[in-house]
Structure 1
Amino acid sequence: MFKHQNRREAIEIVNAFIELGYNVDVVYYNKKAFLPSRKYDVIFGLEPNFEKFARKNPKALKIYYATGSYWKYQNASIIDRVAEVNKRRRSSLRPARLVMSHQSAELADYIIQIGSTFTVYTYPPEIQQKIRLIRQSSFEFLDATLENKDYSSARRKFLWFGGKGAVLKGLDLLLEAFAKRPDLELYIAGAPEKDFINEYYNELYQTGNIHFLEWLDLRSTFAQDIARSCGFVILPSASEGMPGSVISMMRMGLVPIVSRQAAFDGIENFGVLIQNLTVSNVLAIVDEASRFDEDVLYKRAFMSQRFAKENFTLETFKSDLKAVLLQCFNSTQL
């Protein structure tokens, strides 16, 4: 239950439907499954099974649960970023995290979206009106005391915390930027693809200020130590819904430095936006952040932590979901 916040959210989705008076059949999203012949009032979920079941139940209310950008936007972003890296380094990296073609958004009557206002704009204009945003959850056990932190040291330390799709999530930009700034430290928690590791072997393993941690267990003392050491969590991603890794580190008191694609509405109040996904822009941003006054960094960390705790809980997720489901039900005669 603690490997990803979506595992607990899946249970709360079922609970929300039950509390609204529905009987629920649960099917894994991408595995072949027997579909009973009974009539369904609502089909809710994500691709590929959402599309399959929606087509078999054309009269049902179809609610697509979207956790990322529109798939065509994401695929184009990945292809463009990988092509950019391969041209810059004369490498042959393969695109990772490509989404298979599907028509879930087009088939849906409504789309419940994990993301931001920017995420909505990644969809075609004719689909955007279907979208209803909700907040995702985070783990309540993630917490940190901010008062005893060494902000003079922390402002020079940055954490990239991401899943698969290293180029999609901008790790190449960070490695090349921090290789030019030996006075700043970058910690990497994640599992880049093998071809990416081979291409960036020198930066990952032989650059003194870059520390490749691989997998980071959020429940470990080591994760707490890393959060206490770093001032920022940084994610220059080209496509996201709402990155749970960033929210998790915000709960631990790190200030988010993210691209617009990985940001949430209101981040400008305490975080830092990466406007352009280039090595030079990343360099400029980390240089600016590393020069934050200690009091300024503490205040941003405090606001970041408070925002995450107030907005991204299992309770806010379920509350948002039930409210939006009721809107969908009330506007449709089932």
Structure 2
Amino acid sequence: MLQQIIEMLKKQQTFVTIYERIFQRPILNIFNKKHNKSALISYSTYHFKKKNYTPHSNYQESVFMANALDELGYNVDIENNNRFSKLDLSKYDLIIGEGIPLFQAAATFSPAIRVFYATGSHPWQCNNASLGRLTDYFNKYKKLPLESLRINDYRWGIAANAADAIICIGNDYTISTFIDYGCKNIYRINPTYHTNNDFTNKSLEQIEKSRKTALWFGSYGLLHKGLDITIEAFSKRPDWTLHVCGHTSKEAYFLNNLPIGKNIYIHGFVNIESSKFKSIINDSCFVILPSCSEGIATSVITAMGRGGLIPIVSKQCGIDIGDFGIEIEELTCSSIIQTLDYCDSIETNTLLNNTEKSHHEATIKYSEYQYREKMKEYIHEITKKSTIS
């Protein structure tokens, strides 16, 4: 009952505003340093108040960014990205992040160097793609599950376009969404994921047993992330098994219209450190995500790194799948079914090799070390260029 009340209150904007103003005030000089320069991170104060938080890697990445700024000689303040800041933005040498404060800095002609930190594709591309999926859903089910979209305030896109530079989580496709809207000075960075040390390569027998089992793993915005067409496809392929892990209880209106067959298991939110998640990973061969817009889908990276699962993803997921993953060519049920047909044709030995490649890719490419070093390098390079110009 208490949890239901909390969830209900979270949907009330007035309550959220009051709560954030009391408990999520700006964090000033988080490292208590006396550097000669000051920087503002426009992202989330909450990320700095939760310790060892595993539901999403952006919590640890926020801390890594703050550490990089400190090492580069900045006093670091943190502000939430979803409202206008009452801080004096003219006092900062650098403002990095996303959302309303970055827009505010541009609108008020703050002298700070402005860096848009893109955790997804261009905000306007994201909005258009999400609304496109809503249209598809409405045409099929005559329902409008608005809570299952991923819609950004239009000012986020302005903040991106008005920035001096962009540090973008994603691959070449993700970056192209910014170029399409006229953005320049884009720096590509890979995200991290929550690693573990107990990964073991699967045997040929395990692959044979699990080769018709896939995991759909994602956060909120289930329509945006293609759960509807995934469930529809698997309902038409009862010889396959689908595990669904995500915040499904919060988007029941969306789910209630879908044909959930007996081969589809809705687990809801599952802690990645739990024995249940480990069991699902061990029983699966693939991780599937036909999302319409991402930076790099870290849920997929997590499944790759923790279980060696082979990615079945849309190009919009922002993941370079090399010769080990499978691309979903269109965001449709029929395209997913065609992909499953293709998976059926792959030899078991090849699947075994691809699971090893998938795990290796996640471990090497999406490490905490590469993120720390690249973030520090990019901030230094951007500020140096801006100072010279």
Quick check: TM above 0.5? yes
How is 1:75-224 mapped onto 2 (pairs within 5 angstroms)? 75-94=127-146, 96-102=149-155, 103-125=158-180, 127-141=182-196, 143-148=198-203, 150-192=206-248, 193-200=251-258, 202-203=259-260, 207-224=261-278
Gapped regions of structure 1 (runs ≥ 5): none
Counterparts of 1:116 and 1:55, CA distance in 2:
30
Structure 1 residue 37: deviation in Å? 6.6
Contact 2:122 2:177 in 1 (8 A): yes
Contact 1:121 1:128 in 2 (8 A): no
Q: Which residue of 2 aligns with 1:257?
A: 312
How is 1:1-334 mapped onto 2 (pairs within 5 angstroms)? 1-31=53-83, 33-36=85-88, 39-56=91-108, 58-94=110-146, 96-102=149-155, 103-125=158-180, 127-141=182-196, 143-148=198-203, 150-192=206-248, 193-200=251-258, 202-203=259-260, 207-251=261-305, 252-265=307-320, 267-333=321-387
Structure 1 residue 301: deviation in Å? 0.5
Contact 2:193 2:367 in 1 (8 A): yes
Deviation string 1:208-230 (CA, Å, 9 cap, x unpaired) is: 10010111100011111111100
Q: For the structure 1 residues 142 and 176, does the alpha-carbon distance in structure 2 shift closer, same or farther, using more than 3 Å as the test?
A: farther
31-40 vs 44-53, which deviates more?
31-40
Counterparts of 1:74 and 1:274, CA distance in 2:
18
Deviation string 1:250-274 (CA, Å, 9 cap, x unpaired) is: 0121000100000323x13211111
Identity across the alignment (%): 31
The TM-score, its normalising length taken from structure 1, stands at 0.93
Task: Pick 1 or 2: higher relative contact order, CA cutoff 8 A, min separation 6.
Answer: 1
Counterparts of 1:59 and 1:287, CA distance in 2:
56
Give the secondary structure class of the aligned counterpart of 1:63: strand
112-121 vs 37-46, which deviates more?
37-46
Letter in 1 for 2:128: A
Counterparts of 2:182 and 2:271, CA distance in 1:
38
Structure 1 residue 112: deviation in Å? 0.5
Give the secondary structure class of the aligned counterpart of 2:91: coil
Counterparts of 1:246 and 1:142, CA distance in 2:
18
Give the secondary structure class of the aligned counterpart of 2:92: coil
Q: For the structure 1 residues 327 and 135, does the alpha-carbon distance in structure 2 shift closer, same or farther, using more than 3 Å as the test?
A: same
Deviation string 1:113-169 (CA, Å, 9 cap, x unpaired) is: 011111111125463422111011111226521134611121100000011111111
323-332 vs 274-283, which deviates more?
323-332
Counterparts of 1:45 and 1:165, CA distance in 2:
22
Gapped regions of structure 2 (runs ≥ 5): 1-52
Counterparts of 1:164 and 1:79, CA distance in 2:
15
Deviation string 1:260-300 (CA, Å, 9 cap, x unpaired) is: 000323x1321111111111110010121133221111110
212-221 vs 324-333, which deviates more?
324-333
Counterparts of 1:214 and 1:18, CA distance in 2:
38
Structure 1 residue 323: deviation in Å? 1.4
Letter in 2 for 1:98: I
Q: For the structure 1 residues 170 and 4, does the alpha-carbon distance in structure 2 shift closer, same or farther, using more than 3 Å as the test?
A: same
Aligned-pair RMSD on alpha carbons? 1.8
Q: For the structure 1 residues 90 and 142, does the alpha-carbon distance in structure 2 shift closer, same or farther, using more than 3 Å as the test?
A: farther
Counterparts of 1:282 and 1:73, CA distance in 2:
23
Counterparts of 1:272 and 1:168, CA distance in 2:
20
Counterparts of 2:106 and 2:124, CA distance in 1:
20
Counterparts of 1:176 and 1:225, CA distance in 2:
24
9-18 vs 52-61, which deviates more?
52-61
Q: How many residue pairs are counted as aligned between the two chains? A: 329
